[in-house]
Structure 1
Amino acid sequence: MREISLDRLRTLVAIADHGSFAEAARVLNLAPPTVSLHIADLEERVGGLLLSRTRGRVQPSAIGETLIERARRLLADAEQALEDVERQVQGLAGRVRLGASTGVIAQLIPQALETLSQEHAGIDVQVAVLTSQQTLQKLADGSLDIGVIALPQSPVKGLKIKPWRRDPVMAFLPARWACPDIISPAWLAAQPLILNDNSTRLSRQVGEWFATEGPQPTPRIQLNYNDAIKSLVAAGYGATVLPHEASTPAPESRIVMRPLQPSLWRELGIAHRAGEVERSTRHVLEVLWELEAL
């Protein structure tokens, strides 16, 4: 089935608006025979008369009125679609899909989104809670645009991975406990613990840290929601080890933080597809890089 061209619909609307073929040709910058050809094509396609001459003026027929009404909506939608795409190409609007862990989303991403809303309010960032491996996989298959991942990572073909920030991992302990000023693996292993599960790189790092002075302890509970972990620590259920970003507030009064000995760091990187990056994605990347040193 032959489709109806938007150019022919635009010609029909112009004739209806200006009441003549000649004026429509002038407004659309078309030759008069081209205007006549457009209408003949449309009438052949719909199988009926679209226009008629009444007292020297071209008027739509009943069929023509129906098509013109729909044509105006189609042309307006097409124009809006082009404007939306142009805004996205210019970086004024668009959708950016970002993947990160719960801890990063809770502590770092809100700062980036606040800045982005002030500088580029038309950009919509869709955030997904993912592990680093899930993030890399979705970046590779094109279903994500940016990923915040734990480092180090093996190179992934087609992806660009750069170090972003390095934050200390601290002990978070119930304030009512009698705690040393510096926390060693041996001391902490003897306490009830709430830790990330072994699907995370932080869990593996913490396991290696405990292994410097003994075997890996068995935690009372494992989960990957850092705010929930801190709530349990505040309730006195156990201690944990989590990253602490300098830009985030200190924990509530029922929790104390202590440095680890040996020290431990959580390193993060930013990943995106190699090659040309859309402007909206570049704007989000720029905002994230502003948090590099915070």
Structure 2
Amino acid sequence: MREISLDRLRTLVVIADLGSFAEAARQLNLAPPTISLHVAELEARVGAALLTRTRGQVRPTALGETLLARARRLLADADLALDEVRRQVEGLTGRVRLGASTGAIAHLLPQALQVLRVEHPGIDVQVQVLTSQASLARLRDGSLDIGLVALPQVAGKGVRITPWRRDPIMAYVPSDWRPPARVSPAWLAQRALILNDSGTQLSRVTSEWFAAAGLYPQARIELNFNDAIKSLVAAGYGATLLPQEGEAVELDPRVARRPLRPGLWRQLGIACREGEVELGVGYVLEALERLRQ
């Protein structure tokens, strides 16, 4: 069964508003036979008359009034949808889906979001807590627009990754352990450890740091929520290795932050789909680019 065309409904509405087939034809810039055909098709579709013609005046029937009420709402919704799409195409509004780790969300992303709020207030950034692998998978299946991912990563077909930041990985140690000025693998391996989940890039990097010294310590607990890890460090539960993200912030006095010997770095990249991006996505990428190191 054929659907009712919005063009036919618009013709019906204009005829009812103007009370004339001829006037409707002029306003819609259509030939009079086309106007008549639109009405005939609608009446054939519903199986009843929609308009009456008396003394040169066209009026809707009772059935026509019912259809007109619905038609006006449908046409208004269609116009609104087109306007919303147009505003998104022009970069005035838009939704951008971004995936990142909890650390990046807490310490890096707020600066970019603040810039966007001022310069592009119509852009809605929907943030999701995702691992790097999950972000890349969602980029490939089209359910994510931007991912902040730990490097190195294999982008996969249709995705590009641009190096973004290089942040030092630091030791976070309970202050009463009296850590040295620079923490070595040998010193840290003798203590209780709170480390990232073994499936993360940060876990692989830190494991390689220990392994280079011939050490393979076991974590007391594995977590992916960096602020929770720091809280456990403050409670004296163990020490950890985490990137210093963004500007150095004042720590809980119960936590001592120390550089590593040898030094260790966490590299981040910005992943997005290849090809031309929507304006909203471009604005978010520009805001993130300002945080490049």
CA distance in 2, matches of 1:167, 1:291: 12
Q: Which amino acid aligns with 2:23?
A: E
- 1:116-195 residue pairs with structure 2 within 5 A? 116-195=116-195
Q: Is the 8 A contact 2:104 2:245 kept in 1?
A: no
More displaced, 242-251 or 80-89?
Answer: 242-251
- The Cα of 1:67 is off from its aligned counterpart by 0.5
CA distance in 2, matches of 1:154, 1:44: 59
| % identical equivalent positions | 66
- The Cα of 1:108 is off from its aligned counterpart by 1.4
CA distance in 2, matches of 1:246, 1:137: 26
String of CA shifts for 1:39-58, please: whole Å, max 9, x gaps: 11111111111111244321
Aligned residue for 1:205, secondary structure, equals: helix
CA distance in 2, matches of 1:106, 1:241: 17
- The Cα of 1:248 is off from its aligned counterpart by 5.1
Q: Is the 8 A contact 1:87 1:93 kept in 2?
A: yes
Q: Which runs of 5+ in 2 are unaligned?
A: none
Aligned residue for 1:36, secondary structure, equals: helix
Asked if residue 246 in structure 1 is aligned to residue 246 in structure 2, the reply is yes
Instruction: State TM-score, norm by structure 2.
Output: 0.96
- The Cα of 1:284 is off from its aligned counterpart by 1.1
- The Cα of 1:146 is off from its aligned counterpart by 1.0
Aligned residue for 1:8, secondary structure, equals: helix
- 1:35-184 residue pairs with structure 2 within 5 A? 35-184=35-184
- The Cα of 1:155 is off from its aligned counterpart by 4.5
- The Cα of 1:226 is off from its aligned counterpart by 0.3
String of CA shifts for 1:104-124, please: whole Å, max 9, x gaps: 122212222222122222222
CA distance in 2, matches of 1:248, 1:24: 68
Instruction: State TM-score, norm by structure 1.
Output: 0.95
Aligned residue for 1:157, secondary structure, equals: coil
Q: Which amino acid aligns with 1:170?
A: M
Match of 1:278 in 2: 278
Q: Which amino acid aligns with 2:231?
A: S
String of CA shifts for 1:187-220, please: whole Å, max 9, x gaps: 1111111111211111111111112333211221
Match of 1:18 in 2: 18
Q: Which amino acid aligns with 1:156?
A: G
Match of 1:267 in 2: 267
CA distance in 1, matches of 2:103, 2:15: 61
String of CA shifts for 1:89-139, please: whole Å, max 9, x gaps: 112222211122222122212222222122222222222222212221221
Q: Is the 8 A contact 1:20 1:58 kept in 2?
A: yes
CA distance in 2, matches of 1:258, 1:266: 15
Q: Which amino acid aligns with 1:274?
A: E
- The Cα of 1:81 is off from its aligned counterpart by 0.8
Asked if residue 197 in structure 1 is aligned to residue 188 in structure 2, the reply is no
CA distance in 1, matches of 2:257, 2:39: 77
CA distance in 1, matches of 2:54, 2:33: 21
Q: Is the 8 A contact 2:108 2:246 kept in 1?
A: no
String of CA shifts for 1:8-48, please: whole Å, max 9, x gaps: 11111001111111111111111112111111111111111
CA distance in 2, matches of 1:214, 1:138: 37
Change (3 A) 1:246 1:147: closer
Aligned residue for 1:59, secondary structure, equals: strand
CA-atom RMSD in angstroms:
1.4
Q: Is the 8 A contact 2:107 2:246 kept in 1?
A: no
Asked if residue 236 in structure 1 is aligned to residue 241 in structure 2, the reply is no
String of CA shifts for 1:117-174, please: whole Å, max 9, x gaps: 2222222222222221222122112221111111112342221111001000011112
CA distance in 2, matches of 1:149, 1:2: 48
CA distance in 2, matches of 1:69, 1:242: 61
- The Cα of 1:247 is off from its aligned counterpart by 2.5
CA distance in 2, matches of 1:203, 1:251: 23
Q: Is the 8 A contact 1:107 1:248 kept in 2?
A: no
Asked if residue 222 in structure 1 is aligned to residue 228 in structure 2, the reply is no
Q: Which runs of 5+ in 1 are unaligned?
A: none
Aligned residue for 1:78, secondary structure, equals: helix
Q: Is the 8 A contact 1:186 1:214 kept in 2?
A: no
More displaced, 235-244 or 105-114?
Answer: 105-114
CA distance in 2, matches of 1:106, 1:74: 43
